[in-house]
Each structure stands twice: as structure tokens, then as C-alpha cells.
Amino acid sequence: MVPILAQQKKTLQVRFQWQRWVEPWYLAYTVVGATTAGVAPILLPLAVSGTGSAIHIGLVMAAFNLGGLTAPLWGSLADRHRLHRWLLSGGLMVSATGLAVFPFTKTQAAWLGLALLQGIGATGAATVANLFVVEAHPQPEWDKRIGWLQTFYGGGQVGGLLLAGVLSQTNLQTGFLVASGLTLMGALLSWLTTETPFNHAVPRPALLHAGRHCDWMVGSPQHFYHHPSFDTLRQMGSRLRSPFALFLTVWFLSFAGSAAFFSLYPILMRQVYGVAPGLSSTGFALAAGLGLALYSPAGSWSDRFGPARVMQAGLSIRLLAFLSLWVIGVSRFGQGWLALTGFLFIVLAWSGLSVSGTALTAQLSPVGEGEGMGIFNAVTALAGVIGAALGGWVAEGWGYHGALVLAIGGVGLGLVLTIVRQPAHPKDQNPKSFDKN
């Protein structure tokens, strides 16, 4: 009888162990994933396409992504003035305001301003999320807590994409108001469940966790925790030919190319393949959900074969998937379901790219892991801005097939660079090498 009771107690401990690492405010962070990485990337292009051109869509998404470059400002305010609670709740409120007003405007200037407002609000909220973990809990608990935090964000993204699929089939004004109301609920929840940590600002430790969610064109909110200083950027100027600079070039090209596609995603799928926004959003949600299951295997592959090899594999899969989408669009063979299948592989490749990108940043950075992660995130955000704007311009001039060509070119150039400048395996004598042996 005693062994049975002991076994039942052990089972209950395992079953409820996750509750130790999860806090109520994680639900507010789920809202950030749902609206920023789920609803907004679908509804914003659809709203603009009603009266605007592809150029307008690209510029609006670029403005939305531009908010990611404000992360250093919000992180500095949080550190200096202890504004963590205000930034989390206030950022969600700012984002909710941008969502609520957006569908009632018809001018390009208003679209750009409101999209930027949404991006800034989301970035402000995401920037301080990790601070609530590292400043309020001991270091041995960080991995578990941040892992669950990212799980909530990824789940929010999947839920947001499913919600966007439903909202896209209704009046878009109603859809934006629903998304805004959800974000306001997240703001209220965060205000009621958080308190600014009492710890004084300390030097930031490196948080080398891959963002466990699908592409967000700005980059993972996980990396907003880090931001580079001006001194670091000046130091990087003298290392333009370093292995780290080569890696950043590869990342910039491939991410900008992908951003050109993702910024136009619901409109491109409708115009080129005849896939309705509701179905394309649902397909995106399914792909993002499946992608979450690949992070653990991707980490194992990175340890076994080296992160550079995993990155090459991810870029190769993305390139083949983009090429397949282009062939399907030009030949008009199969169309909808084949296009969604090709898109599935584009999304699944992100798990390996995210894990390998984070690992290579830590491995190659000549300015420290935390500063390197800040540079990595800034490059990612900049690539998202440029890729979105360029994608809209190309789609307007040469059709939406042109955005696919741009994606193929960016990812292809990045892959070629990794082959020409062959990266070394971490087990080699010089693990800092990202060059020919």
C-alpha cells in the first residue's frame, strides 16, 4: 500500500511541476504573441489592401517592424527608472489603441503612424518580459521560467493566427476591435498580476534561448532583453570582415528575403494561389504549431552537427520551398493546397534557423554574448523593415510573384555565402571560425 501511495504522490508532483515555473502574468505575454505575431500580420495587410497598393502594404508592415528597433529605449527606461510594470501594461495599451483606430483611417500617413504605434507598444511590452524573470528569481530557475514564457508566447501566436482566420471572414473593423479588446484585457491582467522587481539594475547576463515560435518579422521578443551599446557598435566597425560580421550578413539577407514574403502573406496567397485569408491563416497556425515541436530536435541536431550546418539545412529547405511556391504560382498547377504545403516547409525550417542563429551569435560574437545578441536582434529588426518595404515595392512593379523572387534571392544569397565561406564545426580547433579551413 505504501509503494502505491508513494507512486501516486510522485505522479502528482510531475503532473503539477509546471505550475512552479508559471505565473499569472504569462497570460498577458500570451496576448503579445496572439496580437503581434498572430492577428496583426494578417489583418494589417488585408485592411490596407482594401484601398491601398502593394507598396502601401509593404510600408505599413515595415513601420510595424520598425517598432522593434526601439527596444533599447524601453530597456534603458526600465533599468534606470524601474518602469517594468508600466511598460508591460502601457505597451499593451498603446498597441491596443493602434489596433482600434487603424481600420477607421484611410490615409497612408495614418496607416504608417498607427502601425508604428502598434510595433512600439508590442516592443515595449516584450522588452521587459524577461526582466520580470531574471530580476525576481534566482538564476537556476531562469531556464525553466523563460522556457515556459516562450511556450506561452508561441501558443499565443498559434491562437492569434486561428483567431485572425475567423476575423478575416468578418467585417475587418470588427476584427480589429476584437483584437484591441483582447489586448486591453492583457494590459489589465498584467497590471493586476505584476509588480516591478525591487532589484536594482545589474549588468545583464546573456540569455541564450532560441525564440520558440514562428517567424515574427522583427525577431524574437526573447532577444529584446539584450541591446547593444554605441561603444559596441563602434567596435564592430573595425571587425567588418570578422566571422561574426559574415554570419550577420547571411542572416540579414535571408531574413530580409523571407520578410518580403511574410509581410504580404495573406494577400500574396489570395492573389497568386486563390487561397482565402481564413484558410491561409489557419494553415499558418497549423504550421506554427507543428514548428513548436521541432525546437527540441533542432537543439539536438545543433549539438551533434554544429549550428552552422543546421543553419545551412534550414536555408536549403526554405530556398527549395520558396522555389516550389514560385513554380506552383507560375505554372498554376495544384494551386491552393500545394501552395499551403510548400508554405508549411518554409515555417518548419524556422525552428532550425532560430536555434542555430542564437547559437552562432553566442559562438561567434567578439563583443560578448549579451552585446552580440543585441546586435543580432537589431540586424534582424532592420532586415524586417527593409524586406517588408522592398517586398511591397517589388510586388507593385512586377506582381506578387516578384516578392517570391525576392525571397528566393535573399535566402539563396545567404545560403551561397555559407557554402563559399564554409563554416567550421564547433568541435574543430577554432570554434570561432565561420570561414574556410
pLDDT in tens, 115-171: 999 999 998 898 888 888 888 888 888 888 888 888 898 899 999 999 999 999 888
**Phi–psi pair at 16, nearest 5 degrees:** -105, 10
pLDDT at position 422? 59
pLDDT at position 333? 72
Q: What is the pTM of this model?
A: 0.89
SS3 110: helix
Length of the chain: 437
pLDDT at position 144? 85
Residue segments in the chain with a per-residue pLDDT below the cut of 50: 1-2, 5-6, 8-15, 424-433, 436-437
The C-alpha atoms of residue 72 and residue 78 are separated, in whole angstroms, by 10
Place of cell 520551398: 321
pLDDT at position 13? 45
**Phi–psi pair at 208, nearest 5 degrees:** -100, 65
The C-alpha atoms of residue 348 and residue 346 are separated, in whole angstroms, by 6
Q: Specify burial of residue 335 (Cβ count, 10 A radius: 0-12, 13-18, 19+).
A: middle
Query: Among candidates 289, 302, 419, which has minimal Cα distance to 363?
Result: 302
Q: Which CATH class is domain 23-420?
A: mainly alpha
pLDDT at position 107? 93
Alpha helices in 82-210 (DSSP H): 84-101, 108-129, 131-134, 142-167, 172-193
pLDDT at position 253? 96
What distances in angstroms separate CA 71 from CA 68, 183, 323, 360, one per listed residue?
Answer: 6, 20, 34, 22
- Grid cell in block for residue 306: 554544429
pLDDT at position 318? 97
The domain ranges of the chain are: 23-420
